[in-house]
Structure 1
Amino acid sequence: MTYHPQLKRTALAGAALATAGIMVLSGCSAQQGATTLDKDADVTITMWSGQTDEAQDLIETLAKEFEDEHPNVTIDLSAGASSTEQLLQKLSAGFAGNSYPDISYSFGAWASQLEASGRTLDITDKVSEPDVKWDEFSDAARATVQPTGEKTIGFPAIVDNLSLIYNKTVFDKAGVDYPDESWDWNDFRDAAKKLTDAESNTYGYGYSVSGSEETTWQFWPHLWQNGGEILSDDEKSAAFDSDAGVKALTYLQGMAVTDKSVYLDQTDTKFGQLFASDRIGMITSGPWQLYDLVKAGTDYGVTVLPGTDGDHQTVSGPDIWALFDHKDKNREYWSYEFVKWLTDAEQDVRWNVAIGNLPLRSSEVDSAEFKEQAAAYPGLDTMAANNENAKQARPTVPGYVNLSEAIGSAISQVLQGQKDPAEALKAAAEKANEKLGESK
């Protein structure tokens, strides 16, 4: 079975492209189709997969299988655009010209804008049915397809999370015990200091200071585990400049500035390379990292993030299958049925698991297909189980990308000894609030 590492699309490109924007429509609707459901009527549904290569081939095979089981259904399947990143703009143009699909792969960061477009279906009642087994999706995945909490606009498509990856060679050389699920952040900091060796240019931990979403989403678990929030309850203002936020950033400042145990990566990529070559003891990363580590022959292990008072909460960046309304009961019915079928465990092990992503559903962890992948890429099973600790979704509000840039810059400055945590977070919140106000 071939492993294709999932790019950090949800963490990086997805958030960055949320600035593209989707118009909020009013007084403009699709042409009325079937007003009553006829399950036997011939129907064509259009799907933009956002996939290429093996992932696209597999989803085409699955679509053909669904068509064979339902001869009256034709699935007009394409990638939708030359890259996943271009789908948002294409969807926006399609909404304006009533030429949008029934189903589209979408970055989770776009979810609020898609709902605000007025074009999405609301499948809340449907997913509450027992056969859907909605609770098998992680909390973060469910929250991402329910961006405002008022509607469910689709199904999770891809899930990931940040886990703690440790380099056994570096640990063994320093005589430090490997981390496990009992660790708290004090254990983590103590280990990072012991692993750091100035003579050999070895660091205990690697962290991005590029100011990108990589910098930001590495911080969210610290914030959440300390009881903090990213946004206010009404999502109109930043809330990360709280006592919890200051405590979390002060902790990282202590590691980076006082202990000097953190490799501060300006590029988002070097810390992974240095870890693979036994120069960094610990990184927090996801399933996309394992392919490179196995290829490099790195002796590594994976466990959950260190915890705060037993809370090992992590961050996830789920992508979604968004469902769209064409005022046609037949298209609505079969679009839902296909995506429900596609995300059932039996099909997901032949798509997500087959291409090396984490399984969408908790029930897939015991499947033969996933066990095979986990044997080839040690730690993949731990990352799948860690989805249980993905309890909150990153915000999908249009102003999130600006918020991310503001706090990412603040974190970078603090970790490089340039600013005080409280002052930096306050200034970042003020900057974020300007853009959040514009997006409302």
Structure 2
Amino acid sequence: MMLIPNRGSRRTSMVAGVTGLALLLGACGGGSKADNGKDAAEGYDPAAQVTLTWWTGQPSEGEQKAEELAAEYTKAHPNVTIKTSSGAATTDDLLTKLSAGFTSNSYPDVSYAYGSWAGELATSGRTQDLAKFVADPSFGWQEIPAAARETATYDGKVIGVPALVDNLALIYNKKLFDDAHVAYPTDQWSWDDFRAAAKKLTNPSQNLYGTAYSVSGGEDTTWHLWPMLWQRGGKILDGNKPAFNSDAGVAALELLRAMAVDDKSMYLDQTDEQYAKLFNDGRIGMMMSGPWALLEIKEAGLDYGVAQLPGYNGDHQTVSGPDLWVLFDHNDANRAGASRDFIKWLTSKETDAKWNLAIGNLPLRSSEQGTPEFAAYVKEYPGGQKFFENLANAKQARPTVAGYEEMSRNVGDGISKVLQGAAKPKEALDEAAKKSAGAIE
């Protein structure tokens, strides 16, 4: 979800040819400006005439909002011109477009980016290091959730500022629970509770499923496993070595396999996009999804609830998928400084509440909880308060490393095989770890 939420496949951030792309991005980093020890904005003159290029990653309706934001900022800063564009045909294409821009020296000053791209972009050598900038108390860096701050950080360098924050929780259809005489999910639910309810909600004769899972093999497949792995005490990586194939990872995937293969209580979505539609059509009782789903659920007229993810031994960790505004270095202190000032304004309490909250996104900052916009948000989107509170359960972040995208694809392929009965959890995760061993940097 972006300034205008990207409905449907929210977390399909994989791009074709990711291995070759990662190599290309890495190859662009020779003579890295970001690594020369000099702050990119050193010598910045706030009064200088500056033109910034902003790749917003927005669809057409979002691009209009971005233009309004740029106009509002430049009205107050007449020495700054901001050229906005989506940057690519789709948000998923931005990483490829940025890579080409690094080669031709035509990359932007600011670009939207999925958080899972942070490692690839950081190793390009074209990003600014904002660590000192965001450490200034006036920025309010600590108001942004820890997992989002961690996602923006690579090897101690801060390459951007979160553009939005989110998390996964359990969304459920109250009518289907009532019809099946099953008690609603609670924040204390265990995975056994989740499995038992999914079985009771499933009715093959009526094409009803207790829950759903993506088996596309993309990031939507992979990142739903990470909270379960963490809840069971596992890790995605140990240093730069894959560790998701531990006993914890195998146990988590075995539970999903049992629900999909043994219980047949799990709808398996080949596309990432169908399960949300089926939930909105009243065919799926529960789905692990995020705040981006609330608008379409509301439009469908469903009576729904939101609970924390079912947990293991009382651990209800979730995963956050923050996206970023990444700032790039053009060896021009005024462009670097102006881009920082713009992003500081864009992500401020006042501006973020005015834009992100108004269109159904969670607030970037904890300080926004007391704003009128937040009150309007939680009133308009039941469950919004629960998602906001659930940010506290996002205690870990997906690794910000070069090679994450390739590793995610390998893990996603393994999960898909297991849930479709074509592999066992241990062998699938071991194979994914083996394939990923050389990709992580």
The two structures have a TM-score, normalised by structure 1, of 0.90
Q: CA deviation at 1:50?
A: 1.9
Distance 1:250 1:432 in 2: 21
Is residue 244 from structure 1 mapped to residue 248 from structure 2 by the alignment?
A: yes
Structure-2 residue corresponding to 1:122: 129
Structure 1 residues 316, 16: closer, same or farther in 2, change over 3 A?
farther
Structure-1 residue corresponding to 2:194: 188
Aligned residue identity for 2:375 = K
Comparing 279-288 and 260-269, the one that deviates more: 260-269
Is residue 317 from structure 1 mapped to residue 317 from structure 2 by the alignment?
A: no
- Cα deviation digits, residues 9-31 of structure 1 (max 9, x gap): 6621356675533233224769x
Q: CA deviation at 1:356?
A: 2.3
Structure-2 residue corresponding to 1:133: 140
Is residue 161 from structure 1 mapped to residue 167 from structure 2 by the alignment?
A: yes
Q: CA deviation at 1:138?
A: 1.6
- Asked whether the 8 Å contact 2:280–2:302 carries over to 1, the reply is yes
- Asked whether the 8 Å contact 2:360–2:381 carries over to 1, the reply is no
- Cα deviation digits, residues 333-370 of structure 1 (max 9, x gap): 22111101100111012222223222212222332223
- Asked whether the 8 Å contact 2:214–2:270 carries over to 1, the reply is yes
Is residue 377 from structure 1 mapped to residue 377 from structure 2 by the alignment?
A: no
Counterparts in 2 of 1:395-434, with a 5 A limit?
395-434=399-438
Comparing 329-338 and 396-405, the one that deviates more: 396-405
- Asked whether the 8 Å contact 2:120–2:403 carries over to 1, the reply is no
Distance 1:375 1:14 in 2: 34
Distance 1:15 1:304 in 2: 30
Structure 1 residues 34, 354: closer, same or farther in 2, change over 3 A?
closer
Structure-2 residue corresponding to 1:357: 361
Structure 1 residues 9, 202: closer, same or farther in 2, change over 3 A?
closer
Is residue 271 from structure 1 mapped to residue 268 from structure 2 by the alignment?
A: no
Distance 2:179 2:222 in 1: 31
Distance 1:135 1:34 in 2: 22
Is residue 280 from structure 1 mapped to residue 287 from structure 2 by the alignment?
A: no
Structure-2 residue corresponding to 1:212: 218
Structure-2 residue corresponding to 1:202: 208
**Consecutive unaligned residues in structure 1, runs of 5 or more:** none
Distance 1:68 1:177 in 2: 54
Query: Residue 245 of structure 2: SS of its match in structure 1?
Result: coil
Structure 1 residues 99, 405: closer, same or farther in 2, change over 3 A?
closer
Q: CA deviation at 1:433?
A: 2.1
Distance 1:56 1:333 in 2: 24
Structure-2 residue corresponding to 1:83: 90
- Asked whether the 8 Å contact 1:10–1:109 carries over to 2, the reply is no
- Asked whether the 8 Å contact 1:217–1:315 carries over to 2, the reply is yes
**Consecutive unaligned residues in structure 2, runs of 5 or more:** none
Equivalent in 65, 74, 77 of residue 81 of structure 2 = 74
Q: CA deviation at 1:230?
A: 1.4
Structure-2 residue corresponding to 1:177: 183
Structure 1 residues 203, 50: closer, same or farther in 2, change over 3 A?
closer
Structure 1 residues 249, 74: closer, same or farther in 2, change over 3 A?
same
Aligned residue identity for 2:199 = K
Query: Residue 171 of structure 2: SS of its match in structure 1?
Result: strand
Distance 2:7 2:280 in 1: 17
- Asked whether the 8 Å contact 2:353–2:374 carries over to 1, the reply is yes
Structure 1 residues 89, 102: closer, same or farther in 2, change over 3 A?
same
Structure 1 residues 429, 250: closer, same or farther in 2, change over 3 A?
same
Structure-2 residue corresponding to 1:147: 154
- Asked whether the 8 Å contact 1:365–1:381 carries over to 2, the reply is no
Is residue 62 from structure 1 mapped to residue 69 from structure 2 by the alignment?
A: yes
The two structures have a TM-score, normalised by structure 2, of 0.90
Distance 1:412 1:257 in 2: 12
Aligned residue identity for 1:57 = Q
- Asked whether the 8 Å contact 1:14–1:110 carries over to 2, the reply is no
- Cα deviation digits, residues 248-294 of structure 1 (max 9, x gap): 11222222233332222333233223322322211111123222222
Distance 1:17 1:158 in 2: 27
Distance 1:205 1:362 in 2: 32
Q: CA deviation at 1:137?
A: 1.4
Structure 1 residues 16, 369: closer, same or farther in 2, change over 3 A?
farther
Distance 2:216 2:405 in 1: 15
Structure 1 residues 301, 398: closer, same or farther in 2, change over 3 A?
same
Query: Residue 182 of structure 1: SS of its match in structure 2?
Result: coil
Query: Residue 268 of structure 2: SS of its match in structure 1?
Result: strand
- Asked whether the 8 Å contact 1:204–1:280 carries over to 2, the reply is yes
Q: CA deviation at 1:331?
A: 2.0
Equivalent in 16, 36, 39 of residue 43 of structure 2 = 36
Structure 1 residues 281, 345: closer, same or farther in 2, change over 3 A?
same
Q: CA deviation at 1:130?
A: 1.7
Structure 1 residues 10, 175: closer, same or farther in 2, change over 3 A?
closer
Structure 1 residues 398, 182: closer, same or farther in 2, change over 3 A?
same
Size of the alignment, in residue pairs? Answer: 431
Structure 1 residues 101, 303: closer, same or farther in 2, change over 3 A?
same
Structure-2 residue corresponding to 1:302: 306
Aligned residue identity for 2:158 = T
- Cα deviation digits, residues 171-226 of structure 1 (max 9, x gap): 10111111121212122122222222344332221122232322211111111111
RMSD across aligned positions (CA): 2.5
Aligned residue identity for 2:172 = Y
- Cα deviation digits, residues 290-319 of structure 1 (max 9, x gap): 222222222211111112233221122211
